Chain A
Amino acid sequence: MKLMGRDIPARELLARIEERLRTRGLPSSESVEVPSEGVEPRVEPFAFNLQALEEHADTTRPLPLHTHRGGAGQLVLVAKWAFRKTCQVLINETLARQRVFNGHVRDSYAQLSAEVVRLRREVESLRAAAPPPPSSSPEAPDRPRRQSPSAARPPSGKSGKN
């Protein structure tokens, strides 16, 4: 056990409580390192969406029977199961076109996302191959500066009347 806090004498407190536990005949704690819990990993959206579309494209397939409720919730589950068992043919017939449509959505998404991934890679490789842009200096502004009347005059001899 490790106690963390700026305002407590952690070691002393730990020892005091462990002593009390020993007196009560209970096992005292052992010091362990705090588990270094990392952040949740990124979920790749294209892959996730594709997998979800694949998983759910077939509307005639039942979702796993589940309830977070006890009691009456269990009865609802039984009723759902019985409906599935007895009416699957009706379900298939009703949702057949939806199933075909979902299949097209899934395939379109797969093709478009693959294309986006390919294009992203291509953009990255082109960027990597391109020479670095010239460093911009105050002497070379992006926009043309407004010139003073004298600077706007053409250099003598080079221009003027043709």
Chain B
Amino acid sequence: MAVHQLIPSFVAGDASGQAALHLQWLLRRLGHHGELYAGEVGPGLDSLAHPVSALRPRPDDLVLYHHGIASPLSSRLLHLPCRRGVVFHNISPARFYPGTPLAEALVTGRAQLAAMAPFVDVALGVSDYNCAELREAGYRNVHTVPLFVEPSRFSESCADPALRQRLSGPGPVVLSVSRVAPHKRFEDLLALHAELLKVRPEARLLLVGGYEPGSRYFKSLQRTARGLSGVHFLGRLSHTELVAAYRSASVFVSMSEHEGFGVPLIEAMAAEVPVLAYAAAAVPETLGGAGIAFDQKHFSFLAELVVEVCENHEMRQRLLQGQARRLEDFSAEASQRALARALGEEQPPKRRKPPAKKKPRVGLVVQRYGEVTGGAERHAQQIVEHLSPHWELTVLTTTAKNHLSWESAFPPGEEREGRVRVLRFPVTRVRHIRPFNALSKQVFDRCNERLREEHWVAEQGPVCPGLLEHLDTHRADYDGFVFFTYLYAPTVWGLPMVADRALLVPTAHDEPPIRFGVYADVFERPRALLCNTPEEAELIGRYYPDHAPARVVGVGVDVPEKAQPERFREKHGLRNPYLLYVGRLEAGKGLPELLSHHRALKERFHDAPDLVLAGEAHMELRGEGVRYVGRISEQDKYDALAGALAVVVPSRFESLSLLTLEAFASGTPVLVNGHSEVLVGQVERSQAGRTYTCLDSFITGLREVGEERGALSRRARAYATRYTWPRVVDAYREEMEHIVREKSR
């Protein structure tokens, strides 16, 4: 069953958009695929949300509509030919806005809420308070599914250092976070600050939240603030700036007179700031006994209370510990349990014993498959070839051939490759690499909110909703799944849907996105990780200490018995000794650095070897002695490997380097990028190559390889014998057997 979500507005920084994204995450964990549809889609976010006009639910689908203030989407929901649900985020009472146009929109929102009640199968409130309002409005099947935060995104390391520095200074520092609206009672915060200044003249008040500079309400606040020292209207902040504000505060204060939940209360808990809040509407429920709730706005009293919370260290510690305990109730796991109850899915599905002696039915999910260039894809193909005698295999992949644009090149649908069924699903979004690289620059090497990371994953692609739908609707047809490559959207979004019977071949290397929180489920939820090298397993452990059990499996290497170097030389007219690289020829693989080193080598030494490059080129390849031979056959590759002086592996990002192993199996030493832990590990373990990190070490390494080629070649062959297919096949079968046994239990 697909669970789609309908939301009036999906823009960055919007709380209900964040809630929809969180819900989509939890729904995937429960095995449901589903898309977001919004009345307004923020600029650049169309990879995450579609316009409402594109919503075409099937009769057994569920559409969850996020309701707040009046929206025409409520009428649309009533006429959708499917199961319907409402997620209620509450509506500010109209009494705070008498005589304004907003008042009518607020009351209209409540009328729409009541009008939808008879047409809705399930209603979700984000708090018990909201659920009470849903019942009052006439809803019956009502469930509380609380909002949640990811505490790791509010840690000190996520704080913007520049703002943190700017906000450092004397205290106490009182912080409040919410949009500037009359019912949030910013005037009360200023009154509290005025009292606080009497007892602590250096006190500061930080006010975070969007405001309209010209609004009468904001201007009146500014007028009041002018008479006080230390008041800072910080406006709307980015996530890292928001964390900096939280982390700079001594105490968080809410004077709001109406909250349906109060997300900033739990954000403050996550950022380890004591919370003081006026006990209005859902606030006491959200605090749940943590922090301090008060029932009167007696400002001189509250100012003394702020001082007490800031300066009484023992009490402050107790408050923070209590808040940390309360925060556990607002975790993704807690909300997932509540959502499962609401959807009637808290019982795991009954398991049937599979018929004995049948081959396990396994789905292998990979972003591209067939005649494509790519290490991970080649790896997946080899696994398919070697495991097809043992498993009933279906390859679940996309129609994409080009890994940069993901343009569809293969026809969608089913095809047969011997014993293996290949199902291709269309890619719905072409990637434009320049804007994608610009986005990467914005999000890499910094802490982001989930929206930004999900946006990056969607832009990374390949976006393939059909594949996710297949996992949702046909999961019972498979005993287990093997996902290839942690990085791509089919794995990030698909693996959590079937995590309890999934193996992941991460092919991970140390690159910025591996640190994104959205990848936690990918590494932590499958049944096992099948890594290529000890370095890869160690890397995963460094970023995800709670990762699934990891096992170093790698691949096997087959070398044709008759490699004929002369045949390759003749075919391509090669007369000089040559260095060889085979693979994708693009900047990300370190080719520019290699070309530059080779150019310098040619300039310095008249007898420098040529550089032979084979594979799919995505960049210009020029230079003296540089020979581009295009894509080559397997036989040509092994002929080329056997005849090379050395194989060069210039990439910094490798999880295995099949090329290195193939070179070793051919008895050819390697010269590898010393910035890659994996490549360094391979060279250290084999003692059959050299590493380089700069031009000098490149030249030195090459000289040593030339001088010791015979000895290096012998070591290379000896090391390659460790990589045999029977050992790899046994490891995969053993791990899948565990899943099948568990499934039938």
Contacts and interface: CB of A to CB of B under 8 A. Distances in A.
B263 interface: no
Contacts of B100: 66, 68
A154 B111 CA distance: 61
Interface of A is mostly: loop
A45 B216 contact: no
B289 interface: yes
Given A8-B319, A39-B129, A64 B99 contact: yes
Contacts of B108: 48, 52
A17 B323 CA distance: 23
Interface of B is mostly: helix
A127 interface: no
On chain A, which size bracket covers the interface? 35 or more
B294 A1 contact: yes
B146 interface: no
A32 B297 CA distance: 12
B114 A40 contact: no
B137 A17 contact: no
Contacts of A8: 292, 315, 318-319
Contacts of A21: 300-301, 304
Given A39-B132, A44-B111, A45-B112, A4 B293 contact: yes
Given A21-B304, A40-B136, A45-B111, A73 B284 contact: no
B695 interface: no
Contacts of A33: 295
Interface in B260-303: 279-281, 284, 287, 289-296, 298, 300-301
Contacts of A39: 129, 132-133, 136
Contact of B136 (A20, A42, A64, A71): A42
A28 interface: yes
Nearest to B95: A40
A29 interface: yes
A45 B114 CA distance: 6
Interface string B304-333: 110010000001001101110000000000
A40 B212 CA distance: 28
A139 interface: no
B115 interface: yes
Interface string B376-392: 00000000000000000
B292 A4 contact: yes
A7 B308 contact: no
A70 B284 contact: no
Contacts of A18: 301
B311 to A, nearest CB: 12
A29 to B, nearest CB: 5
Interface in A38-75: 39-45, 48-49, 52, 63-64, 66-73
A136 to B, nearest CB: 21
Contacts of B726: none
A5 interface: yes
A162 B281 CA distance: 78
A63 B107 contact: no
Contact of A16 (B99, B132, B219, B308): B308
A45 to B, nearest CB: 4
B298 A5 contact: no
Contact of A34 (B132, B212, B279, B290): B279
B214 interface: yes
B410 interface: no
B521 interface: no
B725 interface: no
A104 interface: no
B301 A17 contact: yes
Nearest to B92: A40
A13 interface: yes
B197 to A, nearest CB: 14
A37 interface: yes
Interface of A: 1-9, 13, 16-18, 20-21, 24, 26, 28-29, 32-35, 37, 39-45, 48-49, 52, 63-64, 66-73
Ranked nearest first, the 9 interchain pairs of A and B with the lowest CB-CB distance are A7-B322, A45-B115, A6-B289, A48-B111, A43-B110, A4-B293, A43-B111, A5-B292, A70-B216
22 contacts: A1-B295, A3-B305, A4-B287, A4-B294, A5-B289, A5-B319, A7-B289, A7-B290, A28-B301, A32-B295, A34-B295, A37-B280, A40-B93, A40-B136, A43-B113, A44-B111, A45-B111, A48-B107, A66-B99, A68-B216, A68-B217, A69-B214
Given A17-B308, A21-B304, 9 more contacts: A7-B323, A39-B129, A40-B110, A43-B113, A43-B114, A44-B111, A45-B111, A68-B215, A71-B214
